[in-house]
Structure 1
Amino acid sequence: MASIASQIVLHPVTSQSLRVLNTTIGRDKLYRGVQYFARFFAWLLLSRGYKIQAARWDALKSHLGLGRKLLRLGKFMENAQAILRTLSTPGETGERVAMIGRHLGYFGYLFLDNISWAHSIKFYNLQPSTAQKINKRVMQFWFTGIVFSIAHGLLKAGRLANDVKKLQNQTWAEKSAEAERDLKLRDLQLAREAVRYQFIIDLLDVWIPATNIGLVNLNDGVLGLFGLITSLMALRQQWFAAAGKQ
């Protein structure tokens, strides 16, 4: 038994999982996945008439959402720094504008989210109407950030596709130059895959704030599944990132 326990505790997967959960982003994505699964499962139970069981999962969803707000305290400053870096970095104009719009949206979302958290734990009391307005603005800023992220993904994907075509159409006389071209093509393909991956996440996530601000009307089951999928996709990114830091 001791040998089996040792193999489980010291298994590379266990070590890798601990590395992921040692990061704030890793914990946040795991909590988010459970939160959105709870949202989906609560809807499923409620739709079948299991009100007591649904209330349990709904409570889990709410408390995980509140806990995740604590993990995001001060995170809006990362977006403020990203805006300044984007402004000072040369690049394709459309991509830069879209990236600035993305970070502005997330800055507003995270900043107001901090105020919402302070109100929810009764550290700072707001009028009910004011708290409702702030929560709506949180969703509007989140929606704006995702829309700009989608636009950025489309623009960058188009540019990378053109770069790939240019490299493929070029003729190379020397083998060393051809090897350099193949290396550049590989880097471009990796960049395109990363853009596509984030694009899928954004296309699924955008429906969550869109529903909360009334642009569409999707039920909690659909939104829970979308959130669960994107959480697992983001957690997968953290898994490979942690593996690269070994």
Structure 2
Amino acid sequence: MLYPLLAAAANSPAATAYMRAAAQTAGRDKACRLGQYFARLVAHLLRARKGSAWLATLVRVQATLSTTRKILRAGKFVDFLVQLIRGLQARGVDEVERVLGAGHKAGMAAFMLADTLGVMHSPALALVQLRDAPLVARLAMRAWALALASNLALGLYRLRAASLRAADVRRVRKHLEKDADAMGHRECVAEEHAVAQRHAAALRLTLVSALDLAIPTSALGLLGINEGLVALAGTVTSLMGIQDVVLSSS
């Protein structure tokens, strides 16, 4: 009885998706991020119930997963610096997208650099000694906020561009319908489908950036938001990140 159940579970789409995601560094990072923010969310909920035996455990899980993720992405600022330079050198790119993309890459490079220095200074590694570790942590949050704000603006810009393009296609399609142009009609349908996909991607980018932006802005004291809502935002975007990794690996 047990073997057929295990065999069915091992061959299920969920198991396949898990293996594909777990085989990638990005997938493991998103899984750790989900655990980190979910633990933070549950810990916030348990703080109202004083004396909960799980509270200390959840705080420890959150801190451990946070440190683990920082160690895994140590040195990743080089990737963003390379992407920044290549993006600035690219030709035939919308100038607004180029500027906003550069803002995101520059912010992420600075965030990852400060983050790497911070984890190297932490008791877990103690490889370097920083004169003002809290200042480095604040700089990391500011850089992350800049990167997310750039991505948020980019998402809004792409949403507007997709909406304008969709309106143009609708006008052309209406004109072609009057002329009974079947081939032009099929081309318009294909273009509408492509525009809808770009609109969905831009909407997702905007939503993820807006939710994640609550984390650094709250840490900097720029946004007076409940700790539970910050943790919930991180949990939701972590789930969306896992979904992206699974879809990209399928």
Greater relative contact order (Cα < 8 A, sep 6+): 1
Q: Write the distance in 2 (CA, Å) between the matches of 1:35 and 1:89.
A: 40
Query: Structure 1 vs Structure 2: percent identity of aligned residues?
Result: 24
Q: Which runs of 5+ in 2 are unaligned?
A: none
TM-score normalised to structure 2 length: 0.91
How far did 1:51 drift?
4.9
* Number of the residue aligned with 2:108: 106
Deviations 1:98-126 (A, max 9, x none): 11111111111111111111111234232
* Number of the residue aligned with 1:132: 134
Secondary structure of the 1:73 match is coil
Among 227, 243, 246, the residue aligned to 1:239: 246
* Number of the residue aligned with 2:147: 145
Matched, 1:197 2:197: no
Amino acid at match of 1:138: A
Amino acid at match of 1:77: V
Secondary structure of the 1:206 match is helix
Q: Write the distance in 1 (CA, Å) between the matches of 2:72 and 2:79.
A: 13
Matched, 1:122 2:129: no
Among 211, 224, 232, the residue aligned to 1:217: 224
TM-score normalised to structure 1 length: 0.92
Deviations 1:182-228 (A, max 9, x none): 11211111011011011111111111100111112323212111110
Q: What is the number of residues matched between the two proteins? A: 242
* Number of the residue aligned with 1:75: 76
Q: Which runs of 5+ in 1 are unaligned?
A: none
Matched, 1:97 2:104: no
* Number of the residue aligned with 1:2: 3
Q: Write the distance in 2 (CA, Å) between the matches of 1:96 and 1:158.
A: 16
Q: Write the distance in 2 (CA, Å) between the matches of 1:27 and 1:100.
A: 27
How far did 1:164 drift?
1.3
Q: Write the distance in 1 (CA, Å) between the matches of 2:209 and 2:138.
A: 20
Judge which range, 231-240 or 43-52, deviates more: 43-52
For residues 12-91 of structure 1, the aligned pairs below 5 Å read 12-87=13-88, 88-91=90-93
Q: Write the distance in 1 (CA, Å) between the matches of 2:127 and 2:246.
A: 37
How far did 1:70 drift?
1.9
Q: Write the distance in 2 (CA, Å) between the matches of 1:154 and 1:4.
A: 47
How far did 1:239 drift?
1.9
How far did 1:78 drift?
2.5
Q: Write the distance in 2 (CA, Å) between the matches of 1:125 and 1:133.
A: 15
